[in-house]
Structure 1
Amino acid sequence: MGIGVISTYPPRRCGIASVAFHLRQALLAAGEDFVPVVALVKSPTDTLAGPEVVAQIHQHVKGDYRKAAAVLNALPLRAVILEHEFALFGGPLGAHVLELLGALRAPVITVFHTIMASAPPQMIDMVRRVAAASAAVVVLCERARELITTRFGVPPGKVVHIPNGAPLPPEGNSEEWKERLGLSGRTVALTFGLLSPSKGIETALAAVAQVAPDHPELLYVVAGATHPEEVRLRGEGYRARLEQQVAHLGIGGHVRFVARYLTEEEVVQYVHAADLYVTPYVVMEQTSSATLATAAFLGKALLSTPYDYAAELLAGGAGYLFPAGDSAALAQGLRRLLDSPEERARLGEAARARAAEFAWQALGHRYRQLADVLPTPRTVLQQEPPIPPGAGIRARPPLFRRGQPPGGR
């Protein structure tokens, strides 16, 4: 019996899609033979998935959720992993996911990517309902475990902390990858991710302007396309403002935008080439960051605002924390690390030690072990609808096994 995954999934461009891709590969590498995927889709480009995708759920089509459950119920699965983020599912606060959970026979492991201390009562109720329909709940940091068991009232015995995963570095050292990426001779600070105002890039640019006169070697790389939702709602206005800020500050020689969607391989290459990794995020109630986890795992010196995940990961000297929006504090940290390669190395080793258990393959084993102790698949009492051909959901035979490369990239 296998383990199913329900999530956004490549070619959809979002951070959780990347997580699901890596999780599936990790489960296969850990010895799982059968890992089918149900992909949450929103636009036509999302539907170009590989054979591991056995069904698709169009976000706002309520009937798709039960149809997807019927597809999974027909497969030999001992567990299903659901990647949860409120905005991924249709209905108020993603309530359509309850249709899916109520119809699934296999026990569900729900991974909550967002748990906020300031959550309104409606969000708390939704988390409780999703958790009640799940056999186990995974959170990505201890702060999220504390919140979900106290403020959200999820039973502690149901909650497991499994951290963000991180991929292995490519072959070759940092200097070799600098040369390949056109970064040779520079001390590289990097921020990666789908661009939106919540990233706080303007704070980092202001800090670079304060440091650059004394450190001509500094290059700040901002890598990644603008978030699709940001583009849909406001176009490329945020990126244009950042480019104007660079011009106004006169730091064009110290900033490089890689304004496109990077493949998984390219992301790791840029992180591997970097000397410093910066997350100047604005929103403090953030209980996961796959990019920060990757940078820590690869041993980079880390500088971040104290959002929940970063404050926990960087505690005890594993990185520098600075207040959101405080460019002077970030500049102070940058200057200290630019002045002292030894301090950069020390901070990087501290981050690497903190993230030693983040390797995706190791996490694949942990998810398999969790699946092994869940109850056996249950009988679904609700009447399951038939799946008419072409009814908004694509079903495929399970033609994929361990060792077969995934599609969609």
Structure 2
Amino acid sequence: MKTVYIGTYPPRRCGIGTFTQNLLQAMSGKDDSPKSKKGFFVVAMNDFDQEYDYPEEVGFTIRQECQRDYQEAAEYINLSGADCCILEHEFGIFGGRNGVYILSLLHRLKIPLIVTLHTVLKTPSYEQKEILQRICRTANRVVVMSHHAVEFLEDIYDVPKEKIAYIEHGVPDYKFLQQEAKKEFKLDKRKVLLTFGFVSRNKGIETAIKALPEVVKKHPEVLYVVLGKTHPHVLHYVGEEYRNYLIQLVSELHLENNVVFIDKFASQPELFKYLYAADIYLTPYLNEAQITSGTLSYAVGVGCPVVSTPYWHAVELLADDRGILFDFSNHAQLADILIDLLDHPEKRLRLSRNAYEYGREITWPKIGAKYNNLVKEVTAEQLKIPRKKSIPFDIKILPPFSLAHVKRLTDHTGIIQHTKFGIPNLKEGYCLDDNARALIMALMAYKETKSQKALEFCPVYLSFIYYMQNDDGTFHNFLNFDRTFVEEQGSEDSFGRAIWALGYMLDNAPNDSYSQIGKYMLDKSVPVFDNLRSVRSIANVILGISYYLKNNMGDDVMIERLRKLTAFLVEEYRQNSHADWKWYEILFAYDNGLLPLAMLHAADILKDEEVRRIAFESMQFLSDITLKEGYLSIIGNEKWYHREDTRSDFAQQPVDAMCMVLMFYQAYKMTDNIDYLKKLFASFMWFLGENDLRLSLYNYETEGCFDGLEREGISRNQGAESTLAYLISYLVVLEAHKNYYSKYWQQNQTEDLTSNE
């Protein structure tokens, strides 16, 4: 089996890199020759723009914070002919917030995936949990190295038990004689206590140092060796602050003859010589949240007596009298244990024998064989998976429809426009844009679900729109929390959204009162139409008029208004479109799907073939750009996408996804082409994680929607615009699903009757 590994790799100094190298060697054969590694290669992670002189098995490198590298790595792997991919996962080695960039790579893989988790958090943040769950859903198998991790994956991350594989951390099979190792390091007259690995505050080395004064009183020959460099990330951000603190502590306790710091990244043979030279190995970590410890596995593997705090991996690995545990930060208890072990060599010997016996079962050749069997297993399963039938919808995967976050944002005045994380930000007040969208959403929700709560929201949002209208038909946009206006007249875009909402309400009024006030405000605003120049404002107004005309086709004056506004967009399209640029402007900005959406509605009302052609042509151009990978990749708002420039990948906004959903549904209603339903659903799935970062924007805790996809991850705020865009899109999916399956059922009934005849 040709296997590719993703992770850090030597010469980068990283424990996971060492693990990856050991695993590759164990799976490919006992020797370290290039020939034995044929069929095995590595995609290596670089950090802080560092370059490394990698060995030949490294076929591709990824710059940690360069998102495009992850996509290119996926393409490289897919073209390599590899049978299986093994990912070594640790949040800190991948780019984006909490390592989110790795998701874009994994989603593009076309071969089976095995993920080895080096960290499984008991109390993850919302985003950490979301990322790890998506990794586990993508993986064919998830490997963990402790039984605690198995429990966490099942209970916290909802990973099916049958997907989890327990494989211990491997141990290199080095053998040295203790006296010879001690002599080489000039330690033959000392009792050696050892801690090795990257130095950082969570290692609790100060606990061991504080225990030494009592130990040294009885055993002055004791030497505590701290072997390892400061962790690179710690060094990058705070320098040698912790190491200097430890050195100062040694000085204060007068332990200069009993503690030595060896500031180096030891090679594996050298490291194991130190382990064989040690009389006792210490891991005095400060808290239990350590699910895997390679250093502890190494110590047990060589049969070194271990004294450790009871972090998760230590509790498991040191069971059955393979080591001794002491309480976190309890240096007095540690001193008593060390004195007892140094006084009684037979106890150390017993621990050593038990540990060594267990260690023989976790040597790398045996661990490599387990991984090879797992690779064969998942590749065999992959061949048996039948192709899924192509269907336009799978609404079973949708979360339940909920207005909880809308309720949280809505008071007696209207809907608050912004939040700080998930909490309404009253300082920002209200805006016409969001209350117009909220009215559309509430009317849709009542129509689709008969939600009484949605119906109760309708007069709140409608009265807000009424309050915001000026005597000349224009609207204010922003309103302070004390109900004072921020400006005399809002933007053209906010005006257009208000007209869209009024037109939609006039087509879906719950009772006559809504129709009366809606018509009153619409008539009052009509004179403003002639002054509009923004293509998006005009598109919004076209939508409002189109909805109004569905039940008022006798209104010839309004039809002419629609024709005139549509002609404006047609002219903009003629002026700006070219053979390779079928668009209304020389750039893509925001709410891009709104323009083809408006033209589709206008074409449906006016029955104008040129308008129809432009609508479908521009829709196809937009979808070719944003759906070319099979999922929605919204044109980001970091900078506008000019015709001669490159597009922005980030600052992707939920309103853009909403417009795409609405656009494809209108195209489906006009053509009955099921491909538009598939694109509609693909666009909606942007909210649920089918996007460039592979993260869900829907927050299952608050039942709101995050504000967008940023370069480093998801924007954590959950404002009204985003949540309303999600809910409107959700309701369109429900309506489209009902529409499609109603036609599908009728078609099947007709076919059945025909066959019976």
Does TM, scored on the shorter chain, surpass 0.5? yes
Q: Take 1:220 and 1:214, find their aligned partners in 2: how far apart are those partners?
A: 15
Q: What is the deviation of 1:245?
A: 0.8
- The answer as to 2:57 corresponding to 1:49 is no
Partner residue, 2:198? 194
CA 1:295–1:342 in structure 2 vs 1: closer, same or farther (change >3 Å)?
same
Opposite residue 246 of structure 2, the aligned amino acid is L
Q: Take 1:89 and 1:259, find their aligned partners in 2: how far apart are those partners?
A: 26
- SS across alignment from 1:282: coil
Opposite residue 176 of structure 1, the aligned amino acid is E
Q: What is the deviation of 1:354?
A: 3.0
Q: Take 1:76 and 1:10, find their aligned partners in 2: how far apart are those partners?
A: 24
TM-score by length of 1: 0.90
- The answer as to 2:325 corresponding to 1:336 is no
Q: What is the deviation of 1:208?
A: 1.3
- Whether the 8 Å contact between 2:48 and 2:64 is mirrored in structure 1 is no
State which drifts further: 301-310 or 116-125.
Answer: 116-125
Partner residue, 2:222? 218
Q: Take 2:327 and 2:39, find their aligned partners in 1: how far apart are those partners?
A: 45
- SS across alignment from 1:373: helix
Partner residue, 1:157? 162
Partner residue, 1:348? 352
Aligned pairs (5 A) from 1:238-277: 238-277=242-281
Q: Take 1:234 and 1:63, find their aligned partners in 2: how far apart are those partners?
A: 29
State which drifts further: 354-363 or 284-293.
Answer: 354-363
Of 101, 107, 110, which aligns to 1:102?
107
Kindly provide the CA deviation profile for residues 145-175 of structure 1, in whole angstroms up to 9, marking residues without a partner as x.
Answer: 01101111001000000011111124x3011
Q: Take 2:374 and 2:276, find their aligned partners in 1: how far apart are those partners?
A: 31
Partner residue, 1:141? 146
Kindly provide the CA deviation profile for residues 190-210 of structure 1, in whole angstroms up to 9, marking residues without a partner as x.
Answer: 000111111110000011122
Opposite residue 93 of structure 1, the aligned amino acid is N
Q: Take 1:223 and 1:107, find their aligned partners in 2: how far apart are those partners?
A: 39
- SS across alignment from 2:83: strand
Q: Take 2:327 and 2:121, find their aligned partners in 1: how far apart are those partners?
A: 19
Q: Take 2:212 and 2:306, find their aligned partners in 1: how far apart are those partners?
A: 15
Greater C-alpha Rg: 2
Structure 1 gap segments, 5+ residues each: 385-409
Partner residue, 1:12? 12
Partner residue, 2:737? none
CA 1:253–1:78 in structure 2 vs 1: closer, same or farther (change >3 Å)?
same
Kindly provide the CA deviation profile for residues 23-61 of structure 1, in whole angstroms up to 9, marking residues without a partner as x.
Answer: 111111267742100001014544321111100111111
CA 1:45–1:89 in structure 2 vs 1: closer, same or farther (change >3 Å)?
closer
Partner residue, 2:132? 127
Opposite residue 4 of structure 1, the aligned amino acid is V
Of 163, 166, 173, which aligns to 1:168?
173
Q: What is the deviation of 1:269?
A: 1.4
Partner residue, 1:27? 27
- Whether the 8 Å contact between 1:9 and 1:20 is mirrored in structure 2 is yes
Partner residue, 2:309? 305
Q: What is the deviation of 1:178?
A: 0.6
Partner residue, 1:70? 75
Aligned length: 382
TM-score by length of 2: 0.49
Aligned pairs (5 A) from 1:287-298: 287-298=291-302
Kindly provide the CA deviation profile for residues 280-338 of structure 1, in whole angstroms up to 9, marking residues without a partner as x.
Answer: 01131111011100100100110011111001111232111111111011111111110
Opposite residue 80 of structure 1, the aligned amino acid is C
Q: Take 1:354 and 1:215, find their aligned partners in 2: how far apart are those partners?
A: 30
Q: What is the deviation of 1:120?
A: 2.6
Structure 2 gap segments, 5+ residues each: 31-35, 388-627, 632-757
Of 45, 48, 52, which aligns to 1:40?
45
Same amino acid, percent of matched pairs? 37
Q: What is the deviation of 1:363?
A: 0.6
Q: Take 2:358 and 2:107, find their aligned partners in 1: how far apart are those partners?
A: 38
Opposite residue 254 of structure 1, the aligned amino acid is N
State the superposition RMSD in angstroms. 1.8
Q: Take 1:235 and 1:64, find their aligned partners in 2: how far apart are those partners?
A: 29
Q: What is the deviation of 1:235?
A: 1.0
Opposite residue 328 of structure 2, the aligned amino acid is A
Q: Take 2:26 and 2:59, find their aligned partners in 1: how far apart are those partners?
A: 19
Of 93, 100, 116, which aligns to 2:98?
93
Opposite residue 325 of structure 1, the aligned amino acid is S
- Whether the 8 Å contact between 2:37 and 2:57 is mirrored in structure 1 is no
- SS across alignment from 2:188: coil
- SS across alignment from 1:19: helix
- Whether the 8 Å contact between 1:88 and 1:94 is mirrored in structure 2 is yes
CA 1:44–1:268 in structure 2 vs 1: closer, same or farther (change >3 Å)?
farther
- The answer as to 2:395 corresponding to 1:364 is no
Q: What is the deviation of 1:17?
A: 0.9
Q: Take 1:84 and 1:267, find their aligned partners in 2: how far apart are those partners?
A: 24
Kindly provide the CA deviation profile for residues 213-236 of structure 1, in whole angstroms up to 9, marking residues without a partner as x.
Answer: 110221110001111111111111
Q: Take 1:44 and 1:58, find their aligned partners in 2: how far apart are those partners?
A: 6
- Whether the 8 Å contact between 2:92 and 2:98 is mirrored in structure 1 is yes
Q: Take 1:70 and 1:261, find their aligned partners in 2: how far apart are those partners?
A: 34
Partner residue, 2:566? none
Opposite residue 14 of structure 2, the aligned amino acid is C
Q: Take 1:76 and 1:266, find their aligned partners in 2: how far apart are those partners?
A: 37
State which drifts further: 79-88 or 346-355.
Answer: 346-355
Q: Take 1:13 and 1:33, find their aligned partners in 2: how far apart are those partners?
A: 24
Q: Take 1:383 and 1:135, find their aligned partners in 2: how far apart are those partners?
A: 22
Q: Take 1:210 and 1:110, find their aligned partners in 2: how far apart are those partners?
A: 45
- Whether the 8 Å contact between 2:300 and 2:356 is mirrored in structure 1 is yes
Opposite residue 147 of structure 2, the aligned amino acid is E
Higher relative contact order (CA 8 A, sep 6+): 1
State which drifts further: 348-357 or 294-303.
Answer: 348-357
Q: Take 1:202 and 1:260, find their aligned partners in 2: how far apart are those partners?
A: 19
Kindly provide the CA deviation profile for residues 82-129 of structure 1, in whole angstroms up to 9, marking residues without a partner as x.
Answer: 000111111222111111101111111001111122223322221110
- Whether the 8 Å contact between 2:49 and 2:64 is mirrored in structure 1 is no
State which drifts further: 88-97 or 306-315.
Answer: 88-97
- Whether the 8 Å contact between 1:313 and 1:354 is mirrored in structure 2 is no
Opposite residue 103 of structure 1, the aligned amino acid is R
Q: Take 1:106 and 1:265, find their aligned partners in 2: how far apart are those partners?
A: 35
Opposite residue 129 of structure 1, the aligned amino acid is R
Q: Take 1:106 and 1:283, find their aligned partners in 2: how far apart are those partners?
A: 38
Q: Take 2:21 and 2:187, find their aligned partners in 1: how far apart are those partners?
A: 29
Kindly provide the CA deviation profile for residues 7-26 of structure 1, in whole angstroms up to 9, marking residues without a partner as x.
Answer: 01111111111111111111
Opposite residue 199 of structure 2, the aligned amino acid is L
- Whether the 8 Å contact between 2:63 and 2:69 is mirrored in structure 1 is yes
